[in-house]
Amino acid sequence: MRRTTSSAVNIGAICRHLDTRVLQTPQLLVLNLSRPQACSIRHVIPEIDIWRAATLMLKRYGDKALEQSDRRVDELTAAGDYNGVDTWRRITAAVEQLTNTTPPGPLH
């Protein structure tokens, strides 16, 4: 297994991949026995991919990762890509959790 260094990580390609996955989500039709009509189900990006993207944001942007994630949310909101906005809000929340250095629970 080949490991890459942080300088070799291409966050742009991952971001484009996540954006493309959200944009190309097929509408799935599901038959519900209690309701005979079909309903649509959105494709959900796995949680592991959200955390990978958050980790890569921290590697690339360091202390400015949260700011960059928020900027991406604003860009997608302006573009009207609400599925992308939802994805980047999840990434932003993961970045916040990864940068939180406060220990959980009460202090002794």
- In this prediction, residues 44-73 reach a mean pLDDT of 95
In a domain, 104, yes or no: no
In a domain, 61, yes or no: yes
In a domain, 103, yes or no: no
In a domain, 47, yes or no: yes
In a domain, 29, yes or no: yes
Instruction: Specify the residue for token string 């629970």.
Output: 105
In angstroms, the CA 31 to CA 38 distance is 5
- In this prediction, residues 36-48 reach a mean pLDDT of 65
Please tell me the total count of domains within the chain.
Answer: 1
Predicted local distance difference test score (pLDDT) of residue 43? 64
Average pLDDT, the chain: 76
Kindly report the pTM of this predicted structure. Answer: 0.59
The domain of 86 spans 10-98
In angstroms, the CA 93 to CA 1 distance is 30
Predicted local distance difference test score (pLDDT) of residue 38? 45
5-35 tens-digit pLDDT = 444 555 665 656 555 554 444 444 344 444 4
SS3 for the chain is CCCCCHHHCCHHHHHHHHHHHHHCCCCEEECCCCCCCCEEECCCCCHHHHHHHHHHHHHHHHHHHHHHHHHHHHHHHHHCCHHHHHHHHHHHHHHHHHHCCCCCCCCC
- In this prediction, residues 69-97 reach a mean pLDDT of 96
Longest dimension (CA), the chain: 58
In a domain, 79, yes or no: yes
46-59 tens-digit pLDDT = 999 999 999 999 99
Please check whether residue 41 is in contact with residue 28, taking contact to mean a CB–CB distance below 8 angstroms: yes
Residue 19 is given by DSSP the state H
In a domain, 93, yes or no: yes
In a domain, 59, yes or no: yes
Q: Which residue has the higher pLDDT, 36 or 43?
A: 43
